[in-house]
Structure 1
Amino acid sequence: MAKENIDKTVLMNALWNAFPSVASFYDFKKMDRDVSQRSIPRIIKYAFKNEIIKKPNEKEFIEFLAANNKIDINRPLPEELTFADVLEVLAGNISVNILVKNLEAVTKKISLPNIKASMITRLKKHFVLNTAKKRTLLRILAFKLAEKQPDLNWHYEMLRKITIGYIEKPDPAKEKAGVTIALQLQGKGEIILPTDVIWLKSELIKCIKYLNLASHVHSKNIVSCGAASFSLKLPKKLGPTEQPRLYDKAIRDVLAIAHQMAVRWLLYESSTPQKQLAIIIHAGAVSESKLAIQP
């Protein structure tokens, strides 16, 4: 792979646009493994041949990504930006088929999957990044945007936030989507006392404060769902229900709560082998969730 006659600064910005942070790179590596296993070695080799990194290894490439101070990873999406707007900036008046041919140069350089016009058309109508190929397409577009319109700074993580243009009919259940945790005390030979139930809710409130979640997880949202059980819902990020990544923070927070409550129960002075704390977690529309825990 020979060194290309291209502006080094432009190439650096293009790679940063496609992988705007180390976390974004690891997300690609782990979540889109079918693509990344083949393409990451090629991306690293490409960066090395063009003198972006000094050694052709992943550690060097990660250090290059970590040195990125030009991209604000938390920069908000321009108001009402659609996927069609992104394509218009890149393609202008040319057809989708010609745009695909123009993008093939990027895919060949770094061994990314071939792009099909039908994939772009589907995303224009229904912007859901539910496959590795669709997410990779967005990285390719981010790479190309940095080459063509570097001042825009529309990097991959920002483009992922696009929700406008999602044309599925509104579903009230989508507004209720999130991650729900239910906790229930069960007696296995001993009676669950009112003091145990009071302890359960009190410790759940303390747990939320201890984990520094009180700013977005309110104790008033703790709901009694049985004689000795409570549930708590954490909303997902804004966007279509079908996008798993919109649940990532809520899932992490709920797992932290579950771990804390399990430990706290074991340390509770009235905890015995004949009294058990059952925990279930459900991600999705709450209306679909059946949170009753069977003894």
Structure 2
Amino acid sequence: MTTQTPMIEMRSVSKHFGSVIALSDISMQVYAGEVMCLLGDNGAGKSTLIKTLSGVHQPTHGEMLLDGEPARFKSPAYALDAGIATVFQDLAMVPLMSITRNFFMGREPTVGWGPFKRIDWKYADRIAKQEMSKIGIDVRDPSQPVGTLSGGERQCVAIARAVYFGAKVLILDEPTSALGVKQASVVLRYIAKARADGLAVIFITHNVHHAFPVADAFTLLSRGGSLGSFRKEEVTREEVLNMMAGGAELESLDAELAEFQRSDREKKANSAAADQPTPKADGGNVDESAEKRLAGGY
């Protein structure tokens, strides 16, 4: 375990929505140059946690620290100014707008002054193309609509945008959930690059097979509570998967399925026995249904 100050830390953070407890006593530390994978099934509280980290929600209890200093963000804009950039699943992009416009949305570079101030599109195009090439994506024309890019490339535009504007903490909300194997590998490669550049990365996913290759640590959530945080060298992939899925529930399910199979085998055996003809006293076989029909006169 590193002895440096965590880039971002949560201490016993809880979030209530009226009588609903969405998060309960969550503690987590994320260091610069590391990837923390936040794992949990649907409804575990992952979305609420990242919205609390990024300033969308205010914690009901507990505190958050940024680089060792107490932090409380009134809105996502305050979190972004402090260096916490969140890439949500919808990416906050306009498909019909160009790559450059999406890259600089709301932060366009300008030239001139006063009434003569205008956006410097040549500079913006050059920067967008340059930043995309850093992550291995060759954009021939940065003025092309961002909707023409693949899902993985659009994720990389959103990540490159956050890094370019000075993010210290990069929060990625299910970035590989709707991607194929090749596109997911592009995103995972850039996550590894962001870690190498010294960013603290929080990678939210429910796919252990995507998380394990790039993770340095794991925090597991279940029904709004924490199952604990673990360093990668402390757990195996199978142990993480078992904790995330709920080992006791899986064992109960296995027992139920085994009972169903046993019951089904018994029914089939009883049915097969009932279909067997009855043996006669002299060793022959009698078709009972035929005897009944003869006795009934038909």
TM-score category, normalised to shorter length? under 0.3
Structure with a larger share of its residues in helix: 1
**Larger gyration radius, structure 1 or structure 2:** 2
Structure with the larger RCO, 1 or 2 (CA within 8 Å, 6+ apart): 2
State the TM-score, normalizing by the size of structure 1: 0.23
State the TM-score, normalizing by the size of structure 2: 0.22
